[in-house]
Structure 1
């Protein structure tokens, strides 16, 4: 049965539902606090001006590339790379057969010359006796004296040749000329080598140095610094004093850097050849300085400032830049040691901005 009041009831229900929906949509959204994550550092004052750090390699100061003084075929090799050797120790041996034959030939020539010399001496003595009896003329005696002198000269020449061949025979053995360690072996048994060809490298282990490459723009600056520290990559907590021994006058053709050789003390026994080391160049300033990274500066309307964090709120602090020190800037005024300064995210801040320092808990 049709009820005339039913449409009116449906309309009222619909109106009430829409009103409730509109009321729900018109509620204000909950406000969230705007906190910016940043990175920051605590300012410190120091009179140490660290100019640069360079990594390099520990190398021997003296390294010999040894080779045979004569050519021949290698018949034995006594050492390997890393072998500790003493001065005079045999490293390699050539086949001495040909050298011994040449020595024997030189000795035979010497014996023949000595025989001729002895005969010329006896002839001279005999003719001298005859001259005293006036049986021969002075001219004949003079010829015998000349023959004896020529024979003696032949003996001297043969002796020198024999000594040379004896030395050549001795050169068949390659011996170490210093106490050290074998760094390289570039020839094997059975190989025929020419005289002077390097076959074994031997380095002294008592004197070591670190070799680094320095950019051309910093050569003149760093070569004047006396405070040089060396740290091994294997033991970064220990620093030992170093001394610049040599600065290359010519740039490396591959890297376009200049080679610095820094001597390290002998008491650094753990420094082995080939290790990686870091060389730090430092110099003191007349007054303590406060340094910040370049990313900490904020420029606005011609003024230079930094964002200081106090109680979790960023505050813009005007500063003056006194100069540069490597990749950092020296601040002349405006801040003091102990303040926390933002180093990343400076362009996202505004005065009174609440910030959260990333890594703060880990740093504490």
Structure 2
């Protein structure tokens, strides 16, 4: 027997409960509550401020005093006079009688050319001289005869004048031929190259069999006598070294022995390759053990300067604008251009740009920028010690 439907449920659809939907709602509500709390906390928290870049540096306080500036440069020992000898005529070299390092005396033969062409030219000039001499003698004899005839009135004055003119022309031709003969004789003698002073051969620039033109250097001879040191001076040191009062020289072979020097020559033009100015320092008291080519060191000492400022080398900052230092003012740094006048040991002498009492950075100059805040090293420890007392 089938059961009958309830009158209350007829025509209505009863919804059954969904356990899946009932379990999602509490979790969603919890997530929303957590997210809202995080947003509230982030809105109430303060932003972290970025730490300011304060760079620690070492400094020194500028003070003035009386110091003597100095500089040292390395160079090479050379002879004061080094001649580049060459033949006064052109030709083919047939003999070379010296080598590099050989000692030579004045008048000693160094090289010789083939003299045959020069000897032939000399013989030709001699023949011309003899012909001119004969013509002159003939013109003189005729002039004498015509003078006697004129005294007897056998010839006119015009004829005598022509004979006198012929004699003067013959005499001039003879003088010309004589000068040509002497010149060719000298040319023949120039085929032999001799030393013009005592010295040492420092170089040979031509060999036997080579054809050279007149004046081409073939042998270099350094004359004995006064020696000097050749150095290169930077352009920023030229004016300071002109005022140097004491110059001393020592060699690498004898570092414990020094000689007094004298600035003999300073080039007015910089070398195109090194951009330095060549200077020659004479050594009046040089001994025989100071040999040519030795390495030497030249020290310049200038007069003592009052109110001079000395700074460590590490304090200098080099850039395109020149040389400068960093000055600390109110906890920040400022770049100040300076002029360097010399050195004193491991320090440099500053001639302008600074005044006494200023604080200059001596370490870390390449890491600074204008207006950057700095911390002076050592201040904190000093303050701590003072508080402990």
Q: Give the TM-score normalised by structure 2.
A: 0.64
Assess if the C-alpha contact under 8 Å between 1:50 and 1:280 holds in 2: no
Shift in Å, 1:153 = 0.7
Shift in Å, 1:351 = 4.7
Which residue of structure 2 aligns with residue 75 of structure 1? 94
Task: From 243, 253, 268, give the equivalent of 1:249.
Answer: 268
Which residue of structure 2 aligns with residue 164 of structure 1? 183
Computing the radius of gyration from Cα coordinates, the structure with the larger value is 2
C-alpha change, 1:200 and 1:325, in structure 2 (3 Å) is closer
1:189-234 residue CA offsets vs partner (Å, 9 max, x unmatched): 1111110101011111211111111111111011111201111011
- 1:103-122 alignment, distance < 5 Å: 103-122=122-141
Unmatched 5+ residue regions in structure 1? 1-45, 305-322, 334-342, 353-364
Assess if the C-alpha contact under 8 Å between 1:48 and 1:283 holds in 2: no
Which residue of structure 1 aligns with residue 385 of structure 2? none
| Structure 1 SS opposite 2:132 | helix
Shift in Å, 1:93 = 0.6
C-alpha change, 1:112 and 1:295, in structure 2 (3 Å) is closer
Assess if the C-alpha contact under 8 Å between 1:244 and 1:261 holds in 2: yes
Shift in Å, 1:149 = 0.9
Which residue of structure 1 aligns with residue 225 of structure 2? 206
| Structure 1 SS opposite 2:272 | coil
C-alpha change, 1:109 and 1:286, in structure 2 (3 Å) is closer
Shift in Å, 1:269 = 2.5
1:187 correspondence with 2:235: no
Task: From 161, 171, 177, give the equivalent of 1:152.
Answer: 171
**Structure 2 CA distance, aligned partners of 1:245 and 1:300?**
41
Assess if the C-alpha contact under 8 Å between 1:93 and 1:174 holds in 2: yes
**Structure 1 CA distance, aligned partners of 2:114 and 2:266?**
43
C-alpha change, 1:301 and 1:275, in structure 2 (3 Å) is closer
Which residue of structure 1 aligns with residue 194 of structure 2? 175
Assess if the C-alpha contact under 8 Å between 1:72 and 1:192 holds in 2: yes
Unmatched 5+ residue regions in structure 2? 1-64, 316-325, 332-339, 350-355, 358-362, 364-375, 383-389
Shift in Å, 1:283 = 2.7
Q: Give the TM-score normalised by structure 1.
A: 0.69
1:18-59 residue CA offsets vs partner (Å, 9 max, x unmatched): xxxxxxxxxxxxxxxxxxxxxxxxxxxx97634211101111
Shift in Å, 1:271 = 1.5
Which residue of structure 2 aligns with residue 234 of structure 1? 253
- 1:287-306 alignment, distance < 5 Å: 293-294=312-313
| Structure 2 SS opposite 1:237 | coil
**Structure 1 CA distance, aligned partners of 2:107 and 2:195?**
5
Q: Give the aligned CA root-mean-square deviation in angstroms.
A: 3.3
**Structure 2 CA distance, aligned partners of 1:187 and 1:295?**
52
| Structure 2 SS opposite 1:93 | strand
**Larger CA deviation: 263-272 vs 235-244:** 263-272
Shift in Å, 1:294 = 4.9
C-alpha change, 1:162 and 1:111, in structure 2 (3 Å) is same
**Structure 2 CA distance, aligned partners of 1:196 and 1:286?**
52
**Structure 1 CA distance, aligned partners of 2:314 and 2:194?**
60
1:217 correspondence with 2:236: yes
C-alpha change, 1:224 and 1:180, in structure 2 (3 Å) is same
**Structure 1 CA distance, aligned partners of 2:380 and 2:215?**
74
Which residue of structure 1 aligns with residue 46 of structure 2? none
**Structure 2 CA distance, aligned partners of 1:159 and 1:270?**
52
**Which has more strand, going by share of residues?**
1
Assess if the C-alpha contact under 8 Å between 1:106 and 1:165 holds in 2: yes
How many residues are matched?
279
Shift in Å, 1:136 = 1.3
Assess if the C-alpha contact under 8 Å between 1:70 and 1:171 holds in 2: yes
